[in-house]
């Protein structure tokens, strides 16, 4: 079964003014579609064909750059679109809020650490909130790597991720990555993040 580009649960314009419709459309139909197509090409006829994306990424060490980069790009964007939502709750609640306070001291300190991870990721990459051994940690990865991969410095289950590749924000924010990261905070679907935390 070939990997398919997921449909978004909202219109391209739904995240405005924080993320503009043109950026969303290009990001989804060009970048994510490209990762999807190239991943399918990379696994076709190999022992990876028929495996889930999680199975592929958890054993990516020794695989080709095409599998690592496009597999990561496919998975990362699937997560990214899901954890974005127009008009979502402004802060995490319940068990997730308690876990963030336990791990970081407060939700505000978590936010600071998460934004800082995105700001200090050199070049293209991602910042993550990761469930690791029943504890929450913040990390960042270069390119399309993620914490599921056996090559990641910080391994675990990603429950929140922000894309800091320039294609995610440059039309609207140019080189102001901090402004994009602060805008991203207004769009997080905390219900989806909580579901991933519990699931």
Query: How many domains does one find in the chain?
Result: 1
Q: Count the neighbouring beta carbons within 10 Å of the beta carbon of residue 93.
A: 12
Determine, yes or no, domain membership for 145. yes
Q: Provide the residue-wise pLDDT of the chain in tens; the chain has 199 residues.
A: 699 999 999 999 999 999 999 999 999 999 999 999 999 999 999 999 999 999 999 999 999 999 999 999 999 999 999 999 886 667 898 999 999 999 999 999 999 999 999 999 999 999 999 999 999 999 999 999 999 999 999 999 999 999 999 999 998 899 999 999 999 999 999 999 999 999 8
Burial of 30 (0-12, 13-18, 19+ CB in 10 A): exposed
- Percent above pLDDT 70 for the chain: 98
CATH (domain of 54): 3.55.40.20
- Our CA angle for 192, 170, 177, nearest 5°, is 70
Determine, yes or no, domain membership for 10. no
Determine, yes or no, domain membership for 124. yes
Looking at residue 1, what is its pLDDT?
Answer: 67
Give CA–CA dist 172/147, Å, rounded. Answer: 28
Determine, yes or no, domain membership for 93. yes
Q: Domain limits at 139?
A: 20-199
Determine, yes or no, domain membership for 14. no
Q: What is the pLDDT of residues 87-130, one digit of tens each?
A: 666 789 899 999 999 999 999 999 999 999 999 999 999 999 99
Determine, yes or no, domain membership for 24. yes
Instruction: Look up the pTM and report it.
Output: 0.96
Determine, yes or no, domain membership for 104. yes
Q: Which residues contact 28 (CB under 8 A, 6 or more apart)?
A: 5, 8, 12, 77, 81
Determine, yes or no, domain membership for 34. yes
């Amino acid at each position: 079964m070939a990997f398919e580009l997921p449909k978004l649960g909202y219109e391209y314009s739904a995240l405005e003014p924080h993320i503009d419709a043109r950026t969303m459309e290009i990001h989804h139909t060009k970048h994510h579609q490209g990762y999807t197509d190239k991943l399918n090409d990379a696994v076709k006829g190999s022992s990876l064909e028929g495996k889930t994306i999680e199975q592929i990424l958890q054993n990516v060490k020794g695989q080709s750059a095409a599998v690592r980069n496009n597999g990561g790009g496919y998975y990362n964007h699937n997560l990214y679109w899901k954890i974005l939502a127009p008009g979502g709750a402004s802060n995490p609640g319940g068990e997730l809020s308690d876990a963030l306070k336990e791990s970081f001291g407060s939700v505000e300190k978590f936010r600071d650490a998460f934004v800082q991870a995105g700001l200090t990721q050199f070049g293209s990459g991602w910042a993550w909130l990761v469930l690791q051994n029943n504890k929450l940690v913040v990390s960042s990865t270069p390119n399309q790597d993620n914490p599921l991969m056996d090559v990641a410095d910080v391994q675990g289950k990603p429950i929140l991720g922000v894309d800091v590749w320039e294609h995610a924000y440059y039309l609207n924010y140019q080189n102001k990555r901090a402004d994009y990261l602060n805008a991203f905070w207004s769009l997080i679907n905390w219900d989806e993040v909580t579901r991933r935390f519990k699931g």
